Amino acid sequence: MRARRRDESGTEYLSDALALLAGWSREGRDIKRTLRLDDAQHAALTERVKVVADALQLRPNIRRLNGYTQIRVGTPGGALTAGEVTLAARIEDVYRSITSRTECATFVTTTRCGYFWWPDVAWKRNSTTSPSRIT
């Protein structure tokens, strides 16, 4: 189902679309989002956003400050564009994929005292290359 435009410029339509994206807000002429990411996640997000932004011919401002990643997207004209809302939605997709994958990878590769902890199964490293199951 598509939303209807309410005026000639479509700004209400785009504002409604932006409102559906959790965490994004308007500040002056820009839209912005602040994310809590570690350094590796920040680097991964920045690389993926660069690819999407190049395709949309936009230049988001992404910076790292006090453990947070701050993203600003805006155009010199100041009016909200469909490309900016599209970029915000794509950034949300990238953010979700990076944070969910990192949580899983951290859980699976956690080691303590030579043991690998997998969901409901503990494996102990033996002298061979394959781990043995602890029962």
- Residue 71 tokens read as 């993203």
What's the rounded mean pLDDT across residues 101-107? 49
Does domain 11-109 fall under CATH 3.30.1360.20? My reply is yes
Dihedral pair phi/psi, residue 82, rounded to 5°: -65, -35
pTM of the full predicted structure?
0.66
In the prediction, which pLDDT does 127 show? 47
- Residue 124 tokens read as 């102990």
- Residue 40 tokens read as 């590796």
Q: Which residue has the higher pLDDT, 17 or 113?
A: 17
The answer on pLDDT for 87 being more than 90 is: yes
What's the rounded mean pLDDT across residues 74-97? 89
Question: Which positions ≥6 away from 22 have C-beta within 8 Å?
Answer: 92
Q: What is the mean pLDDT of the chain?
A: 76
Which residues sit opposite 61 in a β-bridge? 72
The answer on pLDDT for 117 being more than 80 is: no
What's the rounded mean pLDDT across residues 34-51? 95
Domain ranges of the chain: 11-109
The answer on pLDDT for 133 being more than 80 is: no
DSSP letter at 106 equals: H
Distance CA 130, CA 123 (A): 10
Interaxial angle between packed helices 11-19 and 82-109, expressed in degrees from 0 to 180 and rounded to the nearest 10: 10
